[in-house]
Amino acid sequence: MKEKIEQLLQQIEQFKFTDKEALENFRLKFLSKKGLIPALFADFKSVAPEDRKEMGLLLNELKNKAQDYLKTNQEALEQQTTTAASTLDVTLPSGHFKGGRHPLSIVRKEINSIFERLGFVISEGPEIEDDFHNFSALNFPPEHPARDMQDTFFIHKNPDIALRTHTSSVQVRVMEQGKLPVRIIAPGRVFRNEAISARAHCIFHQIEGLYIDKEVSFADLKQTLYYFAQEFFGKKTRIRFRPSYFPFTETSAEMDVSCNICGGKGCNICKYSGWVEILGCGMVDPNVLEACGIDSNEYTGFAFGMGIERITMMKYQINDLRLFFENDIRFLQQFEQIQ
């Protein structure tokens, strides 16, 4: 009897619990009415009277260990199941999907390609900038509202270091190098302290352009942007310039294109005006050239900047800017065939 108890104890300790089926097999083998442990209790009557006390204690100890072992492993398996279930998002779509480019990446690539055909090269710069490159070199006076906390994310409340508010800082870094002429576009991510809505976000993407050479005129700017608008929106696209103000350009203008949704007839996208503003532009202010070490008496230039989100919304008729940042696969799948 004692030898049988020790053998069963060894079997119990070596039993592997891999799933609920193993739990049930353990119960049936050792603890059910026809199991091995109840069979030993049935044989207890054949034990000599002087050994019954010892064998009784060993049998009860064997049964208790088997029950505890079953309960412990049952709880462990249930915990594993709960943990796995908690990490499973049942709202995700099933199956495998072909990957594709994000719509902002598609549009950025297309815009880059158009300006590269005009001889522009791509330049990039840091997203964390100092005051000089982000503001001072661009002719922002100390009291300009763009320097205020309501517009800019400063780093650790340091007024000299901030997340860049535009990619114009890249233009400054290129001009500082003194390698003229300059003909660049600067695509990148920028940051402004704005409330998130269908038409605004605290993170967005820009492409800014800069051309500096001798005898560059506003006519060169207009022809460059006219070429871009027709290449991107179609040959029937019309453009118009409206006077505006930017600290870093003089003369300054905003450029509108005829609404490609309604063909200029008027709709909710263009606010029934037939026109949609897509960018700001102008001749580089002489103060900016001088701050970057360029002789404004010898060189002139133009600059422009556009938001990639706005251009993308127009191209694909998207009415909520937040969709670009939510990674909803139902939205992204619409662009998987576009390269």
Note whether 213 and 165 are same-domain residues.
yes
Note whether 47 and 123 are same-domain residues.
no
Q: What is the C-alpha separation between 299 and 204, in angstroms, rounded?
A: 32
Question: Per residue in 166-218, pLDDT tens?
Answer: 999 999 999 999 899 999 999 999 999 888 888 889 999 999 999 999 999 99
- DSSP run (H or E) holding 322: none
Supply the DSSP symbol for 146: G
- Angle between helices 103-116 and 308-316 in degrees, nearest 10: 110
* Arithmetic mean of pLDDT over the chain: 87
Note whether 70 and 109 are same-domain residues.
no
Mean pLDDT of 225-236: 93
Higher per-residue pLDDT: 308 or 91: 308
State CA 68 to chain mean position distance.
49
Mean pLDDT of 287-297: 95
Q: Which domain holds residue 285?
A: 103-335
Note whether 80 and 125 are same-domain residues.
no
Note whether 198 and 297 are same-domain residues.
yes
| CATH code of 324's domain | 3.30.930.10
Note whether 257 and 184 are same-domain residues.
yes
pLDDT above 90 for 286: yes
Looking at the structure of the chain, the number of domains it has is 2
Q: What is the C-alpha separation between 201 and 320, in angstroms, rounded?
A: 11
Note whether 119 and 194 are same-domain residues.
yes
89 located within any domain: no
- DSSP-assigned beta bridge partners for residue 243: 253
Closest among 247, 265, 268 to 314, alpha carbons compared:
268
Note whether 70 and 209 are same-domain residues.
no
48 located within any domain: yes
Note whether 48 and 118 are same-domain residues.
no
Mean pLDDT of 41-56: 79
Domain boundary among 19, 51, 84: 84
73 located within any domain: yes
pLDDT above 90 for 240: yes
Higher per-residue pLDDT: 89 or 333: 333
Amino acid at 80: Q
Mean pLDDT of 145-165: 82
pLDDT above 80 for 262: no
90 located within any domain: no
Domain boundary among 84, 112, 133: 84
Note whether 174 and 253 are same-domain residues.
yes
Note whether 80 and 214 are same-domain residues.
no
What is the pLDDT, as a whole number, of residue 74?
84
What is the end-to-end Cα distance of the chain in Å, rounded? 77
